[in-house]
Chain A
Amino acid sequence: MKPADSNRPVKDGADAVLSVAGLGVGYFPEKGRRLEVVGGVDLDLRAGRTVALVGESGCGKSITAAALGGLLPPGMVRDRGEIRWRVGGDCSPGRGLAYVFQDPGECLDPVFTIGSQIREALPRAERRGAGKRLDRLLRTVGFEDPERVLASYPHQLSGGMQQRAMLAMALAGRPRVLVADEPTTALDVTVQAKILRLLAELQQLEHLAVLLITHNLAVVAEIADEVLVMYAGRIVEAGPVHILGNPRHPYVNGLLKALPQLGTGPARLEGIAGTVPPLGRRPPGCRFHPRCPLAQPVCREREPPLNGPGDGHRAACWVREAEGPT
């Protein structure tokens, strides 16, 4: 962690590449009925920094990521808040914003070579005679034999190599923002470690703003600068990554206690009672209150705002807020 982090105002989006304010996505199962998939998401992505959006399945993290590039699945609409680019130039998806997804094998077309697929991702004007650029792109993502890889078909590459190729493709359009949605979840741990290291290198080298979507708190702790924890469509805790050592929200606290860690040994884990409420059955007030060990009457009635003592660490919890800063 760089020392400058602690004084950096998190709310102020002045130096952000991309700012998201009050983002909400609705799902319309039938006419006139709106179910909120995610709501009230504020997000600032800065060049050279990694923000992690972490949560369990169904919390809305991938939907938030998809909303940034207009990639929402049918039936879902981004109908709240705004997404603002703070830089000039072409910021459309594939140019300003690039994605890497969980399963590289499914993103690559099996009947075309890696070379032809990356070439296709280049801006049109650069495609002719792009040999040098392709070569450089592949070296950037860690290939030592670009020619062989460019001529390969996806099935000839391992999962880790496929993900490197996807990264090369994402970088082809010189994006400002890279959204990586579970980029290492399908990979083996040693390969995961390499891809995470590569992501961190690329972020510095290309001055990328990275939004990392993951369910894995340990991956967040390894490479993120900032972390946002989502639960049932809301951000419940946010701040510099070291807040994971001292979480304020009972949900985040519970998640960390439920996580087997190398250092804790065979101690009994504390699971979180109950399950994540499905869309459409999310409770009023604080969405975590039915599972929360600290729940008070107010938690059932009013939704807590995402607040903090001003050091960038914010949590949406009535009980913690009443306790004051820890």
Chain B
Amino acid sequence: MNAPLLMVENLRVTYPAGRRHVTAVRGATFTIERGRCLGVAGESGSGKSSLARGLLGLETHVAGRVVFDGQEVLKLDRAGRLRFRRRAQMVFQDPLGSLNPRMKTGAALAEVLRVHGLVATRAETERQVARWLETVGLDGAYANRFPHELSGGQRQRVNLARALCVGAEFLVADEPVSALDVSVQAQVLNLLKSLQETRGITWMLIGHDLAVMRHMADEVMVMKDGAILEQGPAADVLARPAHPYARELLAAVPDVGRALARRRPGATVSD
């Protein structure tokens, strides 16, 4: 087993509030192996998004250690940070809000490629844009569409393409499918999974939907009030959670199979 891609030690994220600080993440420690998917489950205010932003170096008041492929992320200089940002990318929940409404899909991708100095000529840019759109399952013709001309699932695919095109190996996806309809959500989840399998992408998947977690994640952490309450293999944590809050969370998740079994005529009623 080689070294984990990401190692986080006692990470603390705080936000200044007047003279005091509000602690959003109180000492998170975990690792993610290459090509694996870590699910971070929690409700709003649990600190899961702050954790993600903190370890990507997007927050200012951060303490602790983040080691990405042997490098201390929080101590990187400007050039190092730019290289790190290329390798570690983020995908957000609202696919429309993450895209510039006045920029065509192709232009949005081209801009990212140019900023990171990955393309020199126009022809090369076009080739790269088409290639990345294809990677996420979109026809090259979509380069000429504006975000409002795309469906929610297509927009999320564009966001994925934009994150991948700079050569990302590690993707943090913050509720990537919760704004999508079920049939589209399945398509995007399948895409995320195949990117993990074929391109060896390492994921951190943040969300509140434990059924999605069960489907995607290899390991799961449950967070509440900035603390990690439970972590372990997804099959264990989401089937037999040990912490009382994790149990409460799991019991609260609506589930078709579970509900129908409970409500079957003759089934004993338990709540």
**A residues with CB within 8 A of B:** 1, 3, 5-6, 56-57, 188-193, 196-197, 215-219, 221-222, 241-242, 244-245, 254-272, 275-276
Contact = CB atoms under 8 A, between A and B. Distances in A.
Nearest to B44: A188
Interface in B57-103: none
Contact of A260 (B208, B214, B252): B214
B259 to A, nearest CB: 4
A215 B208 contact: no
B252 A192 contact: yes
Given A265-B235, A266-B214, A189 B184 contact: no
Query: Which 7 residue pairs spanning A and B have beta carbons closest together?
Result: A218-B254, A258-B186, A221-B259, A271-B186, A193-B252, A188-B43, A260-B215
Contact of B185 (A241, A258, A263): A258
Nearest to A193: B252
B117 interface: no
B186 A1 contact: no
B190 interface: yes
Interface stretch (B125-133, B159-167, B260-268): B260-268
Interface string B213-257: 011100000000000000000110010000000001111111111
B210 interface: yes
A256 B183 CA distance: 9
B8 interface: no
Interface in B34-59: 43-44
Q: Which of B151, B187, B235 has the most CB of A within 10 A?
A: B187
B211 A261 contact: yes
B193 interface: yes
Contacts of A56: 181-183
B253 A262 contact: yes
Given A188-B44, A192-B252, A260 B212 contact: yes
Given A219-B254, A269-B189, A275-B153, A260 B209 contact: yes
Contact of B263 (A241, A259, A262, A270): A241
B258 interface: yes
Q: Which of A1, A192, A216, A218 has the most CB of B within 10 A?
A: A218
Given A270-B186, A271-B190, A261 B257 contact: yes
B255 A263 contact: yes
A263 B256 CA distance: 10
23 contacts: A1-B264, A1-B265, A56-B181, A56-B182, A189-B208, A190-B248, A191-B43, A196-B254, A197-B271, A218-B211, A221-B260, A242-B260, A245-B260, A258-B186, A259-B256, A260-B209, A260-B215, A261-B211, A264-B214, A265-B215, A265-B235, A266-B214, A272-B186
A117 to B, nearest CB: 24
A297 B238 CA distance: 45
A155 to B, nearest CB: 15
A262 B190 contact: no
Nearest to A6: B265
Contact of A268 (B190, B210, B214, B260): B190
Contacts of B214: 260-262, 264-266
A266 B234 CA distance: 10
Nearest to B263: A1
A216 B208 contact: no
A217 B210 contact: no
Contacts of B151: 275
Given A258-B185, A262-B214, A266-B215, A217 B264 contact: no
Contacts of B260: 221, 241-242, 244-245
A218 B252 contact: no
A271 to B, nearest CB: 4
Given A219-B254, A242-B260, A260 B189 contact: yes
